[in-house]
Structure 1
């Protein structure tokens, strides 16, 4: 699970969240920021508050005295598959290093499309220079952290 501070930076950089079953989130306050919750129609479901804002309703949590929280009070903690999907064409590869850490190869997505177009033109007989899209490597101790770091770079460039 990625750190809440990185998740908050991803949100602030523009990562959108459409809450769905299985999503992890934390409530962004001192008392609950270390307690991850998972959306599930059995326990925590999405809904709308009185003013139409998105809320998460906690079912069967009378012992916590927690009925619901507004979505803006929560920070989504994306999973590895969600981080990969958010990277889209910018995701090059994820590899494990000899030291046990991980590296994400982050491609310049715009440059990758230009390279593909140049390759297609070259195959069609048009003179074009074909080059490799630049790759940036993002290392981290865990795969999720490397993917989150790569996504943060991708969203802020």
Structure 2
């Protein structure tokens, strides 16, 4: 599963924006709660829009003393399929060898490779590399 640290890097350094929908998973980005992963579902956690703010409402979760949290308090943990979709047309292949996932992707100067023992983390590292490449071009 994607680590909280890589998810933060995707948001903060990679500029990844989140439009919550059913099936998405997230953590509440507070020290004592980052170990609890939540899933958006119409039955337990649903998105609610009030004025200019999106809230994540907790329905029927009596074990939590939460009614809702604002979107900026939540940290999206994109799934493998969502990360691959974000890489888009630059994705070339995914393979695994010796316990390491390898993502081959198209950079502006040719084929590049990103690796990690976790497939979601390998995709996240690819997105960060693509974001860094894009930032260098716009600043250059």
* TM-score of the pair, normalised by structure 1: 0.80
Q: 1:55-74, aligned counterparts within 5 Å? A: 55-74=55-74
Map of 2:114 onto structure 1 = 138
The yes-or-no answer on 1:152 pairing with 2:138 is no
Report how many aligned residue pairs link the two structures: 132
Q: 1:1-157, aligned counterparts within 5 Å? A: 1-12=1-12, 13-49=14-50, 51-97=51-97, 99-108=98-107, 111=108, 134-157=110-133
Higher strand share goes to which structure? 2
**Residues 106 and 42 (structure 1 numbering): CA distance in 2 closer, same or farther, change over 3 Å?**
same
Residue 142 of structure 1 deviates from its aligned partner by: 1.6
Aligned CA RMSD, in angstroms, stands at 1.2
Report SS of the residue matched to 2:63.
Answer: helix
Which aligned segments of 4 or more residues in structure 1 are displaced greater than 6 angstroms? none
Q: Structure 2: give runs of 5+ residues left out of the alignment.
A: 134-140
1:26-78, Cα deviation, whole Å (9 max, x unpaired): 000011111100000010000024x4310000001233110000001001000
Query: Radius of gyration: which is bigger?
Result: 1
Q: Within 2, Cα distance between the matches of 1:63 and 1:7?
A: 26
